[in-house]
Amino acid sequence: MKRVTRERRLTAAEAARYEKIRNQVDLEKPKIDARIRGRLAARRKVIAAKKGGLTLGQRIRHAREARRQTQVELALAAGISQGYLSQLEQDEREPTLSIAVRLAAALGISLDDLATGAA
């Protein structure tokens, strides 16, 4: 977080107050981030439903289930944790390009097939 500079120095009371506020923000940030991720996941599902398609997470899950793999098996093959794969399948997280490439390889499909749902 970028700190604001002032022409005058803060008093001890002001500095303590600002430090307390910064600490509160730091404590609440994970909850806020989780709430935002949940809203984004819900929005992605609505957009995918309007387009008549599946979300990326749903495509990953369908490809995995079509190959009769468990989350643990796919996660090990892709070099990610099972928890992270679960978050991807539930559209709580978006994979990086390198993770998407590894998932596609572990599923035995092309990245394009994973992205478009042609798998």
Number of domains in the chain: 1
CATH number at residue 25: 1.10.260.40
**Position 49, amino acid:** A
In this predicted structure, what is the pLDDT of residue 38?
83
| Residue 2 belongs to some domain of the structure | no
Question: pLDDT (tens digit, 9 = 90+) per residue, 38-68?
Answer: 888 888 777 776 666 788 899 999 999 999 9
Residue with structure tokens 């998932």?
103
Q: At 105, list the tokens.
A: 């390889």
What's the Cα-to-Cα distance from 9 to each of 4, 6, 15, 16, 109, rounded to whole Å? Answer: 11, 7, 9, 13, 60
The stretches of the chain forming alpha helices (DSSP H) are: 12-51, 56-66, 71-78, 82-89, 97-107, 111-116
| Residue 93 belongs to some domain of the structure | yes
Which domain range does residue 50 map to?
12-116
| Residue 31 belongs to some domain of the structure | yes
Q: How far is CA 59 from the centre of its chain?
A: 15
Q: How far is CA 44 from the centre of its chain?
A: 12
Tell me the mean pLDDT in the region 9-25.
Answer: 91
Question: pLDDT (tens digit, 9 = 90+) per residue, 64-83?
Answer: 999 999 999 999 999 999 99
**Mean pLDDT, all residues of the chain:** 88
Contact criterion met (CB below 8 Å) for 91 and 45: yes
| Residue 26 belongs to some domain of the structure | yes
Give the lowest-confidence range in 16-20, 83-87, 112-116. Answer: 112-116
